Amino acid sequence: MRASVGAEARTLAAKFYLSDDAFRAERERLFAREWICVGHASRIAKPGDYLLASVAGESLIVVRDESGAVHALYNVCRHRGTRLCEGGDGHALGALRCPYHAWTYALDGTLLTARNMQDAPGFDRADFPLKRAAASVVEGFVFVSLADALPADEPPLIALRAHLARWNTAGLCEAHRISYELACNWKLVFQNYSECYHCPIVHPQLDKLSPSDSGRNDFTGGPVLGGYSELRPVATSLTTSGTTARPLLGSVDGADARRAYYYTIFPSLLLALHPDFVMVHTVRPVAPDRTEIDCAFLFDPEAMRSPGFDPSDAVEFWDLTNRQDWHVNELTHAGITSRAYEPGPYAHAEGLLHAFDRHYLSTMDER
């Protein structure tokens, strides 16, 4: 099934890519309210493991406690507001301790000790836990939400649960991660990911292994968009050699062993399911013209323990492909800044982009 476009389908107006006002509205209406993917749960595999996530300008400590539960805690000490954790991933030995005055919190955010506060009038430790955001883990992917009330719905990745269970994404482990900084608006990244109209021109190495016109979509509206593309007969995976010695993931077999599935999960996740690995992009808007992306490669942990395991064939292939995409995304953003830019017509092969635009405008309450 393809997402169709009508004669009225046009690219978004420039203001949605360039305006500071639009970016501020996105931060409040989208990124501070929606479920945001912050990475794969294998990054916080053991109690005390944490990662730092930046969501809508907020710093969150996403940590696994002794019971195995995952919490999203604001990285703000309840004493004088000091950041508790710096850097990226880390491990806390049973507690989170403020580096300023040593207020100490349990891994669920409960205040354990507050030095010299016993004589402060009316002070009660129970009144000062770390502020919490909502956290949910779906088939191994960690989502958080800053919404004041718990979101009514589960993260939209739920729609792909059957697929993800087939690939056993909950049981995979991150083997490699690359961080990118792009000089473009985040929506251009999502839109680019949803079409292969550009693939023969921008990605010749990809087109040799997977025909650009072989795509079929199973999600054509709403927060989840995408579907699969076929591999050419010469290929068994999308790697530098076009082949792989790694076994198929999970219960993947049949036609799925000859396909790669690509999905966008609004507004923070790009997901690619390959026969022998899973690639995940988490997208963080920083400014109207600046986007940060982490690209993680997930493999079966048993394969990772095998002698000679080497993910570089997948990593190098997709690092090249990513950089090709980021370059044209930046060129597009630069062009949109021109007074000559006006919304242009979508091609039939860009039906998912029009679907993304509709969902975006609806979520932003734009008509």
CATH class of 1-31+159-367: alpha beta
Single out the residue of 208, 158, 155, 193 nearest to residue 34, CA to CA.
155
360 in Cβ contact with 34 (< 8 Å): no
- 71: CB partners within 8 A, 6+ apart: 62, 63, 64, 65, 107, 108, 109, 132, 135
Sign of CA dihedral 86, 55, 279, 65: positive
Q: Name the fold adopted by 36-154.
A: Rieske Iron-sulfur Protein (2.102.10)
Quick check: helix, strand or coil at residue 357? helix
Q: Which two tokens stand for residue 149?
A: 């009330």
pLDDT at 116: 93
pLDDT at 119: 87
pLDDT at 367: 45
pLDDT at 152: 61
Ranges of the chain with pLDDT below 70: 1-7, 149-152, 366-367
Range(s) of the chain covered by CATH 2.102.10.10: 36-154
Range(s) of the chain covered by CATH 3.90.380.10: 1-31+159-367
Q: What is the pLDDT of residues 253-283, one digit of tens each?
A: 999 999 999 999 999 999 999 999 999 999 9
- pTM of the predicted model, to two decimals? 0.95
* Residue 100, CA distances (Å) to 13, 88, 139, 205, 286 in order: 47, 19, 37, 52, 28
Report the C-alpha gap between 190 and 202 in whole angstroms.
16
Report the C-alpha gap between 219 and 156 in whole angstroms.
12
